[in-house]
Amino acid sequence: HTHTPTHTPGPSSVIHTQRKQAVVLNGFKMAATFPAQAHAVRRLVASSQQLVVLTGAGISTDSGIPDYRSPGRPPHKPTNHSEFMRNERARHRYWARSMIGYPVISKATPNAAHAMLAAFEQQTGRLHRIVTQNVDDLHQRAGSARVTCLHGTMNVVRCMECTARYSREVIQGSLESLNASLAAEAHRRFQLQSVRPDGDMDLDADLLSGFRAPMCFECGGVLKPAVVFFGDNCEPPIAENSFRAVDECDALLVVGTSLTVYSAFRLVRRALARLGPSRVAVLNRGPTRADQEVDEGLRINDAIVPNLRFVLQPL
């Protein structure tokens, strides 16, 4: 008789252990392999009564909206708020690009990830709030009711002088009628991968000559989409709403964001300071700004939809 010594795996090998788990995908039961991190995040979600989910552009890529920072994406110089406000050429450049890019974003529909979060909210009552950096309104269109849009919405345009507000569809019609030939030529050269999540995109410089920007129908003032541009701050009531959500939650799940933007990263830091690293989890394809601060066992670096479906299922 020989004794086989038992081996107790250390923490690092436990973290990377792959486990087979039968899950239901679209009504069909199938075996899928999920890392130990996914099981840990699923236990965290199951234990939460006041879950806050912080989302970014990565959750909308399956809706056909490219994100900012995936591998292979071209470098992106965001529209600067102060430059937009003081420089007419900067405004023309933004509106010309947005005229072409906006229809792509406006036609996008919620994907499985948006639908799963809406269903989780409606069926469990345990989703305290979604705080999203996205301006595409896809969470609301999927049926989520408790949504804070940290960076605004691209579907509203407002006058910076008289505060009149317009539907982006109305402004789109104005843009296309003022610039019919430019719109036709830009669409001819158009490439989907050049569109960004806020509807902005790169346009050839020759298309900008002669461009006419829309003005406020009420006072002739400068129009700006109701989104937070680079160098601008979140509106104070929105920022306060996001802080309150994090202060009231008992767990934070980050989905589809690299957390490069400080207005989102500071929410993660706030949750870590209040709840500790055992109550904050990250699901993102690629590295994030919080990787050194979040527990490695609660970080999933993988595809969003299958892992989100798995971690939202009851134990």
Q: Which residues are catalytic?
A: 151
Q: For residue 80, is it left (φ>0), alpha (ψ between -120 and 50) or beta? A: beta
The residue behind tokens 């947005």 is 98
- Could you give the 3-state DSSP secondary structure of residue 252? strand
**Amino acid present at 132:** T
- What are the distances in angstroms from CA 262 to CA 272, 276, 298? 15, 19, 21
And the tokens for 282?
Answer: 């990250």
Pairing of strands 18-25, 28-35: antiparallel
Taken in order 116, 120, 121, 127, the sign of the CA dihedral is: negative
- Could you give the 3-state DSSP secondary structure of residue 276? coil
Sequence-distant contacts of 158-161: CB under 8 A, at least 24 apart: 158/223, 158/224, 158/226, 159/216, 159/218, 159/219, 159/221, 159/222, 159/223, 160/85, 160/221, 160/222, 160/223, 160/224, 161/216, 161/219, 161/221, 161/222
For residue 28, what are the contacts with CB-CB under 8 A and spacing of at least 6? Answer: none
